[in-house]
Amino acid sequence: MSKMVNCKACGKEIAKGVNKCVHCGKDQRNFFAKHKVITGILVVVVIGIIGSTAGGKKDDTAKVADNNKTTTTATAKVAETPVVKDVYAIGEAVKLKDAVVTVTKVEKSNGGEYDKPKDGMEFVIATVSIKNSGTSEISYNPFDFKMQNSKGQITDEGFTTINTDSALASGNLASNGEITGTMAFEQPKNDTALILKYKGSMFSNKEIKFKLN
């Protein structure tokens, strides 16, 4: 026997599952059963929204991955960038533009019989090597060098004859050319903070520094 239910309109008993009430003729189907076309459209729209949301999340994930990749690349580039030291040591070859400069030796002197430094001072003689690593000529000059002491005084080469035989002159170097010479500076005795500074040109705003002791 079919199960009986009440009509939604008149309340009389009717068989479950019938489309219309036999008493009042009221359609017993729900909204979705009566409007199958609209129901189908709604299903398609809902599926589209779900798919779009999932796709958006995937795109966001891809963007995050791309950003992480960019950051990693930038970090690698920074790591590959050579670090420039503030002060170099004796024996280190340092390049400034096309000039490769090395301080090879430092000596101290109290002068000769007729060529002595002032009281409390001594001559500091720096031997330097300059090489042209470029393809064009470069110039060199002892006045491209200055010496700084512990008092913060920065001076040019002193006037002395103690290094006449080896003194660095001025001139030009062809490609791969190299020259070695000395410069004598008058500095306080036993100064432990001497720095030799090289610019390469009086018009240059870059310089390299060598710690001499």
What pLDDT is stored for residue 143 in this prediction?
94
Q: Under a CB-based contact definition with an 8 Å cutoff, are residues 185 and 147 in contact?
A: yes
Q: Is the pLDDT of residue 115 over 80?
A: yes
CATH number, position 132: 2.60.40.1240
Band (65; pLDDT cuts 50, 70, 90): very low
pTM, two decimal places: 0.60
Number of domains in the chain: 1
Q: Is 195 left (phi over 0), alpha (psi -120 to 50) or beta?
A: beta
The pairing of beta strand 99-109 with beta strand 145-148: unpaired
Question: Does 14 reside within a domain?
Answer: no
Question: Does 41 reside within a domain?
Answer: no
The 10s digit of each residue's pLDDT in 146-192 is 999 999 999 999 999 999 999 999 999 999 999 999 999 999 999 99
Question: Does 56 reside within a domain?
Answer: no
What pLDDT is stored for residue 95 in this prediction?
94
Question: Does 24 reside within a domain?
Answer: no
Enclosing domain of residue 154: 93-211
What pLDDT is stored for residue 84 in this prediction?
74
| Helix, strand, coil tally for the chain in percent (to 5) | 25, 30, 45
Q: CB-based contacts of 1: which residues, under 8 Å, 6+ apart?
A: none
Instruction: Give the closest residue to 108 by CA, choosing from 193, 194, 184, 197.
Output: 184
Question: Does 149 reside within a domain?
Answer: yes
**9 bridge partner residues:** none
